């Protein structure tokens, strides 16, 4: 049992601040998720964003849906917030004069698409229009993130995970998302109004399982207890995450003494 990650203790320990909620393109109360596994809806193909496809809800987590495009394989699942404008009730595309498209990598011959579509929708449970959210929250007017601020972010290499993260850098409208306790492999730049980043406390509100910070980036991590994990035995210790941005005073000496340490400090 790993214990439960506590932002409160972690922020205290790292001396870091949480990015304020107004920085994010997220609603202040996470949107209610009334979807059920098996329901079908229309979704933009993430690999070909100009086409609208049929998707099936194959999983639910917090305010997010795990979606699989009908006619695609099970290796390209993607996650969307229930208030995303990229998901719509079935019928929406046609209503707007569009045509439903086969997903990129459609398993069958392109000529069998019309019949496939007919069959996949026949007797399907269509997500009712009322459980969709009318509007995506508006984007904040500007990028108000600051380097060192903490947040919760989708790990885009493992998009089912939402993890503790730190703003590593700013680049105009873009924000560098770095993952606490992991080396750079998972870092990415996204727009400040990305729907993949959330204020501290988001997962606690949605019931999503926030991953604890990783343990990589420091050899001495193993010997330290983790004060920010609740439910573990042992006294207070230092966080084993990779310090980014503002370093806790207790760490600066250690980091400076190890110039070969792979920790990247922006």
Interface contacts to ligand MLZ, rule CB under 6 A: 155, 158, 161, 163, 179, 182, 186
Pick from 246, 250, 252, 184: which is nearest to 217 by CA? 184
Nearer of residues 45 and 180 to ligand MLZ, judged by Cβ: 180
Nearer of residues 39 and 203 to ligand MLZ, judged by Cβ: 203
Nearer of residues 103 and 181 to ligand MLZ, judged by Cβ: 181
- Please, what is the minimum distance in Å from the beta carbon of residue 186 to ligand MLZ? 4
What are φ and ψ of residue 199, in 5° steps? -70, 155
- Please, what is the minimum distance in Å from the beta carbon of residue 54 to ligand MLZ? 30
Residue, CB closest to ligand MLZ: 179
- Please, what is the minimum distance in Å from the beta carbon of residue 164 to ligand MLZ? 9
Cα 35 from Cα 14, distance rounded (Å): 38
Nearer of residues 39 and 153 to ligand MLZ, judged by Cβ: 153
- Please, what is the minimum distance in Å from the beta carbon of residue 158 to ligand MLZ? 5
- Please, what is the minimum distance in Å from the beta carbon of residue 29 to ligand MLZ? 26
Cα 220 from Cα 223, distance rounded (Å): 6
Nearer of residues 42 and 155 to ligand MLZ, judged by Cβ: 155
């Amino acid at each position: 049992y790993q214990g439960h990650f506590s932002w409160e203790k972690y922020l205290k320990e790292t001396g870091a601040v949480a990015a304020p909620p107004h920085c994010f393109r997220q609603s202040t109360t996470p949107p209610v998720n009334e979807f059920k596994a098996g329901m079908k809806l229309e979704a933009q193909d993430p690999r070909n964003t100009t086409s609208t496809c049929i998707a099936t809800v194959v999983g639910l987590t917090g305010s997010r849906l795990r979606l699989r495009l009908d006619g695609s394989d099970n290796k390209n699942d993607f996650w969307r917030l229930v208030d995303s404008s990229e998901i719509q009730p079935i019928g929406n595309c046609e209503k707007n004069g569009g045509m439903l498209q086969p997903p990129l990598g459609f398993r069958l011959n392109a000529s069998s698409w019309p019949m496939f579509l007919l069959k996949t929708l026949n007797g399907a449970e269509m997500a009712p229009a009322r459980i969709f959210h009318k509007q995506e929250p508006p984007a904040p007017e500007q990028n108000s993130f600051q380097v060192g601020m903490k947040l919760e972010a989708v790990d885009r290499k493992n998009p089912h995970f939402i993890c503790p993260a730190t703003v590593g850098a700013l680049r105009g409208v873009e924000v560098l998302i770095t993952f606490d306790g992991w080396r750079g492999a998972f870092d990415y730049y996204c727009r400040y109004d990305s729907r993949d980043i959330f204020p501290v406390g988001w997962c606690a509100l949605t019931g999503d399982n926030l991953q604890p910070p990783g343990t990589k980036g420091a050899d001495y991590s193993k010997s330290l207890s983790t004060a920010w994990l609740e439910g573990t035995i042992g006294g207070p210790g230092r966080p084993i995450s990779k310090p980014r941005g503002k370093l806790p005073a207790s760490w600066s000496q250690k980091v400076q003494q190890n110039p070969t340490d792979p920790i990247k400090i922006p």
